[in-house]
Amino acid sequence: MASPRVQQILLEVLDFDKPDPPARSGATVWDRLCASVTTAVPVTGAGIALMIPSGHGGTLAATDEAAGVIENLQETLGEGPCLNAFHDRRPVLHPDLPEAATRWPAFTPAATQAGIAAVFAFPLQIGAIRLGVLDLYRDAPGSLDTLQLTEAIDYATAATTMLVDLQHATSPGELHPQLADAADEHREIHQATGVIAAQASVPINEALLLLRARAYADERPLLGLAQDVVARRVTFSPEVDHHE
Amino acid sequence: MSREQHVAQVFVELADTLVDDFDVVDLLHTLCERSVELLQADAAGLILADQRSVLHVMASTTAEANIVELFVLQNDEGPCLDCYFTGKQMVNIDLDEVAERWPRFHAATVAAGYRSTHALPLRLRGRVLGVLNLFCTERTTLSDADVDLGQALCDIATVGLLQERTLRQAEVLAEQLQSALNSRVLLEQAKGVLAERATISVDQAFTLMRAYARRNNQQLIAVAAAVIEGTISESTLQAPNS
């Protein structure tokens, strides 16, 4: 946690004399960290996601549209590099994304179409406790060498340090506003999961799978479908949707 | 050696103190020594505030009693106190001119033989954690570049303090964060479940759960978990006296 390079990164990206700007202002410490890593490591863009047991927990920052696409795809499809990095507790490196088609049959073609040719995901964790992922992507294939990987991991460590430090400034049980804003992006997805669980008489985890399956079948983003579910414009029922 | 080289060397030297068994007092001490070198001062002290905003000397270049006293009495008056409360850099203060403003402080600096002083804030996210206080036996004027350098040293100290405390409390804080994230999800899911069962909006569902939790002195998250598990019914939540 205390390498000199991590200290340099923190010096570069932290807010010293100004309070934290609001979460979506584009000028947060997360935005600066993502921008900085793209200059230090040969990648095109970066994003940081919070993670929860059921998957993507909200995007803290994304340097460009493609990075945003990566985060949204992983949220919608429930598959992708950050989820594997989160579950496996180690970096997930795909220097040539099309080769990951069997691993991520839905994510790979969609991400490739968005111009993403390589992805590298680094978990943000303290021991066994997993908090999020730093996603890096490239618009041309190619791997990161050992030094570049070390640099990326130093950025992940800096991000983890910042997350923990934000919690230090927050009461236990509460989330820092910057993190709450990111987590609240997905609020309707969780609400929809609850609605479906009650409508289809299924456990919560299965309700999320039903929501995802419907979004995939209808070819629409998860959040939009979730909003329709919460507004009762779309309903699920035990007979039609319950799978054994 | 040029100023830039000196700065780079300072950074390396400070970075060398950052190992796994990180000693923050070591870092602060090194910072004091380097600040004296780089900013042509004769003594320096690093002051941190505790939770009650009492200023404590954490490190200084000399343990001479009159120096420590100079820092301690600044809990009542002086550039450190002003710097701590305003967060502003206070530089190039001529000690011959502060007799009216800070009488006790002035007397102490005269006795110690100092003629100028600077105070730079340690800040994080706009809040002041402490102050780097420098004393000079000559009347010293720092250039803008010097002030920037001094501020950079303070920022290095701040980052060191941040890293040390996250290192110390990492697991506890990480668990709190993870738990807070998961609880938020659970609450939203419960809103959906209750909204469907009671045929109300998610906002109304939240209001019901919160009111029930308050009436029964329970945690909101416990009520939410019970809603999801089905161990509490919507009629119970909707009953005004339950």
Q: Where are the domains of chain B?
A: 3-169, 170-238
**Can you list the residues of chain A whose pLDDT is less than 50?**
1, 244
Same structural domain for residues A106 and A216? no
Q: Domain count for chain A, please give it.
A: 2
Is residue A181 in a domain? no
Contact call for residues B89 and B164 (beta carbons, < 8 A): no
> Which of residues A125, A148, A175 is at a domain's end?
A175
Task: Between B66 and A137, name the one with better pLDDT.
Answer: A137
pLDDT of residue A118: 97
Q: How many residues does chain A have?
A: 244
**What are the pLDDT digits (tens) for B23-32?**
788 888 888 9
Q: Count Cα atoms within 13 angstroms, Cβ side, for A110.
A: 21
pLDDT of residue B71: 77
**What are the pLDDT digits (tens) for B176-187?**
999 999 999 999
pLDDT of residue B230: 92
Same structural domain for residues A211 and A106? no
pLDDT tier for residue B166 given thresholds of 50, 70 and 90? confident
Whole-Å CA distances, B38 to A19, A64, A236, A238, B42: 29, 41, 70, 74, 11
Same structural domain for residues A223 and A152? no
Residues 64-93 in A contacting B (C-alpha not used; CB under 8 Å)? none
d(CA A22, CA A20) in angstroms, rounded, equals 6
Q: Is the pLDDT of residue B100 over 80?
A: yes
Two tokens at B211? Answer: 């009111």
pLDDT tier for residue B1 given thresholds of 50, 70 and 90? low
Nearest CB neighbour to A19, from listed B15, B125, B170:
B125
* Cβ atoms < 10 Å from Cβ of B76: 11
A11 to B15: CB separation less than 8 angstroms, yes or no: no
Contact call for residues A191 and A232 (beta carbons, < 8 A): no
Residues A185, A186, A189, CA angle at the centre, nearest 5°?
145
Residue A234 belongs to domain spanning: 187-241
Same structural domain for residues A168 and A194? no
B192 to A191: CB separation less than 8 angstroms, yes or no: yes
> Which of residues A144, A175, A206 is at a domain's end?
A175
Same structural domain for residues A167 and A197? no
Two tokens at B118? Answer: 């600077």
Same structural domain for residues A163 and A226? no
pLDDT tier for residue B8 given thresholds of 50, 70 and 90? low
Exposed / middle / buried, residue A153 (Cβ in 10 Å: 0-12, 13-18, 19+): middle
Cβ of residue A233 closer than 8 Å to a chain B Cβ: no
pLDDT of residue A244: 46
Structure-token match 């983003």, residue found: A221
Which chain A residues have a beta carbon less than 8 Å from that of B169? 164, 168
Q: Write b or e for each residue in A67-94: b if 16 or more Cβ atoms lie within 10 A of its Cβ, otherwise e.
A: bbbbbbbbbbbbbbbbbbbbeeeebbbb
Same structural domain for residues A152 and A49? yes
Interval B65-79 mean pLDDT:
78
Which domain CATH number covers A152?
A: 3.30.450.40
Residues A183, A52, A12, CA angle at the centre, nearest 5°?
65
Cβ of residue A1 closer than 8 Å to a chain B Cβ: yes
Same structural domain for residues A18 and A128? yes
Is residue A180 in a domain? no
**DSSP SS3 for B62:** coil
B86, B151, B185: best to mutate for the A interface, most A CBs within 10 A: B185
Which chain B residues have a beta carbon less than 8 Å from that of A52? 181-182, 185
Which chain A residues have a beta carbon less than 8 Å from that of B180? 167, 170, 172-175
pLDDT of residue B35: 92
> Which of residues A152, A175, A198 is at a domain's end?
A175
Instruction: Collect contacts of B20-28 with beta carbons under 8 A, ≥24 apart.
Output: B20/A1, B20/A2, B22/A2, B22/B160, B22/B163, B22/B164, B22/B167, B24/B160, B24/B161, B24/B164, B25/B58, B25/B59, B27/B157, B27/B160, B27/B164, B28/B58, B28/B59, B28/B157, B28/B160
Residues 163-192 in B contacting A (C-alpha not used; CB under 8 Å)? 163, 165-167, 169-171, 173-185, 188-192
CA distance B44 to chain A (A): 22
d(CA B93, CA A242) in angstroms, rounded, equals 76
pLDDT tier for residue B20 given thresholds of 50, 70 and 90? very low
pLDDT of residue A1: 42
Q: pTM, whole model, 2 decimals?
A: 0.90
d(CA A88, CA A25) in angstroms, rounded, equals 32
Is residue A22 in a domain? yes
Same structural domain for residues A11 and A108? yes
Residue A198: closest C-alpha in chain B? B193
d(CA B121, CA B59) in angstroms, rounded, equals 15
Q: Is the complex ipTM higher than 0.85?
A: yes
Reported CATH class of domain B3-169: alpha beta
Is residue A182 in a domain? no
pLDDT of residue A231: 96
Same structural domain for residues A152 and A232? no
Is residue A131 in a domain? yes
Nearest CB neighbour to A16, from listed B18, B124, B166:
B124
Contact call for residues A134 and A124 (beta carbons, < 8 A): yes
Same structural domain for residues A46 and A140? yes
Torsion sign across C-alpha atoms A222, A212, B185, A243: positive
CA distance B34 to chain A (A): 17
Q: What is the CATH number of domain B170-238?
A: 1.10.10.10
Task: Between A231 and B239, name the one with better pLDDT.
Answer: A231
Same structural domain for residues A137 and A202? no
Question: If you ran DSSP here, which 8-state letter would residue B41 be given?
Answer: -
- One-letter amino acid at B237 equals L
